[in-house]
Amino acid sequence: MGAKKRERLAHIMEVLTQRGRITAQELATSFGSSRRTVYRYMETLKKQGVDVEACPGSLGGFRLNPPEISKLLTSEEYRALLMAACVVSEHNLLPYGDHLTTATEKVKRSLSAELWSEVRDAMPDVSVIAIQLADYESLADVLERLTLAIADRVGIVINYYALHRDSEQGRQVDPYHLFYQGGAWYLVGYCHWRKEVRTFRVDRIRTLEREDRTFVRPQNFSLNGYLGCAWGMMRGERKTVTVKFFPPASRLVAETTWHPTQEIAFQTDGTILFSATVDGLEEIMRWVLTYADCAEVISPPELRAIITGRLLGAMARYADTSPSSDQAEQGNACEQP
Could you tell me the residue ranges of all domains in the chain? 3-64, 71-122, 140-223, 238-317
User: For residue 100, what are the contacts with CB-CB under 8 A and spacing of at least 6?
Assistant: 85, 88, 89, 94
- Whether pLDDT at 328 is above 70: no
| Cα 328 to Cα 166: distance, rounded to the nearest angstrom | 34
Higher pLDDT, 233 or 241: 241
Instruction: Could you list the beta-strand ranges (E) of the chain.
Output: 21-22, 52-55, 61-64, 154-162, 167-181, 184-191, 196-201, 205-214, 238-245, 263-266, 272-279, 295-299
3-class SS at 213? Answer: strand
For residues 251-274, give the mean pLDDT: 94
For residue 63, which of 10, 16, 31, 27 has the smallest C-alpha distance?
Answer: 16
Q: Kindly report, residue by residue over 7-34, the tens digit of the pLDDT.
A: 888 888 888 777 778 888 888 888 888 8
322 band by pLDDT with thresholds 50, 70 and 90: low
The pLDDT of residue 330? 47
Residue 164 pLDDT more than 60?
A: yes
User: How far apart, in whole angstroms, are the C-alpha atoms of residue 19 and residue 30?
Assistant: 15
Round to whole Å and give the CA distance between 199 and 222. 13
More confident residue, 165 or 242: 242
N-term to C-term CA, the chain: 86
264 pLDDT tier (thresholds 50, 70, 90): very high
Q: Within its chain, how far is the Cα of 41 from the centroid?
A: 44
Pick 282 or 105 by higher pLDDT: 282
Calculate helix-pair angle for 24-31, 3-19, nearest 10 degrees. 140
Give Cα 336 distance to the centre of its chain. Answer: 48
Please report which confidence band the pLDDT of residue 122 belongs to, taking 50, 70 and 90 as the band edges. Answer: low
Question: Which DSSP symbol is given to 247?
Answer: T
CATH no. for 3-64: 1.10.10.10
Share of the chain above pLDDT 70, in %: 85
Across all residues in the chain, what is the average pLDDT?
83
Residue 244 has pLDDT above 90, yes or no: yes
Q: Is the per-residue pLDDT at 152 higher than 50? A: yes
Angle at the Cα of 314 (from 313 to 315), degrees rounded to 5? 90
Residue 15 contacts residue 23 (beta carbons within 8 Å): no
Q: Does domain 140-223 have CATH number 2.30.140?
A: no
CA distances 115 to 68, 108, 120, 123, Å, are: 13, 10, 9, 12
Q: What pLDDT was estimated at residue 335? A: 38
Q: How many CB atoms lie within 10 A of CB 253?
A: 19
DSSP 68: P
